[in-house]
Amino acid sequence: MAEQDKQGSQGATITSPGGGGQPLLATERGTTSIDNAVVTKVAGIAAREVRGVYELGGGASRALGNVTHRVGIGDERMQGVSVEVGEKEAAVDLTIVVEYGESIPQVAEQIRDNIVKRVEGITGLTVTEVNVTVNDLHFPGDDRQPPPEDPARVA
């Protein structure tokens, strides 16, 4: 039973839940909090919605993200995104891989616009900055599977 004895009033007190939640709205009847993970995930989803973004994350983060996602403990929508969240504002840093042939300045600008729109619309936080690092370019041929090895000529 997870019931806890929390003596003392929490009526309109602004509290921060464990795990990095941020207090946002306190009313007479209780508080509403939004965890930092929500801001991270919204920013990741918003970035992926932009044409020209192939993937999020640096090489190591992508490799780790693939492993953790495969074993069911990670969320690829959060890789390559870090956020700093205050009472009313948030700053977002993200690392991306851009499709070869896309204009990096344009992609970065569209990412900024979309993240600001989504994060502000969903969480009510003001996004003060979105810093985009382009870590790599993706070429269409990069996805091609390596040819199967020649079968052994001798048993």
Partner 1 sequence: MRIAAAALVAALGVAGVVRGHDGGDGRYATAVGEEVLPGVVVAAQRGGRYSADLYLTAALVPLRPLGDRVREAVVRGVGAAGLEQALGPVGVTFLSVEKQVGHP
Dihedral, CA of residue 50, residue 53, residue 59 and residue 61, to nearest 10: 20
Q: How far is the CB of 87 from partner 1 (least distance, A)?
A: 13
Count of residues in contact with partner 1, rule CB under 8 A:
37
Q: Say which amino acid occupies 81.
A: V
Residue closer to partner 1 by CB (options 6, 51) is 6
Residue closer to partner 1 by CB (options 36, 61) is 36
Residue closer to partner 1 by CB (options 64, 122) is 122
Scan residues 120-149 and list those touching partner 1 (CB under 8 A).
121-124
Interaction of residue 71 with partner 1, rule CB under 8 A: no
Which neighbouring-strand residues pair with 83?
92
**Integer-rounded Cα radius of gyration of the chain:** 21
Interaction of residue 119 with partner 1, rule CB under 8 A: no
Positive or negative CA dihedral for 131, 121, 79, 48? negative
Q: How far is the CB of 31 from partner 1 (least distance, A)?
A: 5
Which positions ≥6 away from 75 have C-beta within 8 Å?
41, 69
CA atoms of 115 and 90, how far apart (whole Å): 11
Determine contact, residues 77/41, Cβ cutoff 8 Å. yes
What is the H or E stretch that residue 147 is in?
A: none
Scan residues 29-58 and list those touching partner 1 (CB under 8 A).
29-35, 37-38, 41-42, 45
Interaction of residue 4 with partner 1, rule CB under 8 A: yes
CA atoms of 104 and 16, how far apart (whole Å): 38
Residue closer to partner 1 by CB (options 15, 133) is 15
Binding residues for partner 1 (CB under 8 A) = 1-12, 15, 17-19, 21, 24-25, 27, 29-35, 37-38, 41-42, 45, 118, 121-124
